[in-house]
Amino acid sequence: RKEVEQDPGPFNVPEGATVAFNCTYSNSASQSFFWYRQDCRKEPKLLMSVYSSGNEDGRFTAQLNRASQYISLLIRDSKLSDSATYLCVVNKYGAGSYQLTFGKGTKLSVIP
Amino acid sequence: GAVVSQHPSWVICKSGTSVKIECRSLDFQATTMFWYRQFPKQSLMLMATSNEGSKATYEQGVEKDKFLINHASLTLSTLTVTSAHPEDSSFYICSASQGSSQPQHFGDGTRLSIL
């Protein structure tokens, strides 16, 4: 089983739609969790951290369920600029530092 | 703040050439730097973790003699791909953090194409 698994996508949604991404992780020692977005041929950029209590940043809501090792991202009122690949990322301590493990990503295309 | 610069952004060279990629933290001191590789439609894979002044820790399956990492200062790490071959063609990305528990900030990435 892969350390971080995501919906394979791609997701093609109209502007204004609500879209949800799911992610599961296998290592219960994972300590922190993030969603990154990556545009084509660019470096990943941090979108938001994910907390057990759930957190919201504008149109984006992230949830974490440690018991089921499940992470989600909800995007409301999708914009064309939201088109990107969304990466689920978990962080655990190893080799003397925290290490990020990335999922393969889910591609989102928001259509006019 | 927390800007990481990576250079060059694109390299095309012949098989057998060695290629050096630089990663600089511009406005903070990076005690730890990370090097990742991403093949098309694949996830970022950690290659190695380097702490300033120490030898890098390589992930399983990454040849340390082929991918030479130097982290001689708190603002600069370099990755040298020695005797590069077409299978080394990939997107190489560095990240830097101010400490083991601090967030990682990513460079722009280097697209390496070996002919």
Task: Judge contact between A33 and A55, C-beta under 8 A.
Answer: no
Amino acid identity, position B81: V
For testing the chain B interface, which of A98, A104, A106, A107 should be mutated: the one with the most B CBs within 10 Å? A98
B41 neighbourhood in chain A, CB within 8 Å? 104
Confidence bin at B101 (pLDDT 50/70/90): low
Amino acid identity, position A10: P
Tell me the average pLDDT across A78-107.
Answer: 88
User: Residue for token digits 């290592």?
Assistant: A27
The minimal CB distance from A95 to the residues B49, B103, B104 is found for B49
Tell me the average pLDDT across A35-58.
Answer: 90
> What is residue B10's three-state secondary structure?
strand
DSSP string, A40-89: TTS-EEEEEEE-TT-EEETTEEEEEETTTTEEEEEE-S--GGG-EEEEEE
**Model confidence pLDDT, tens digit, residues B37-65:** 999 888 899 999 988 888 899 999 999 99
pLDDT at residue B100 in the model: 63
pLDDT at residue A95 in the model: 61
pLDDT for residue B96 is more than 70:
yes
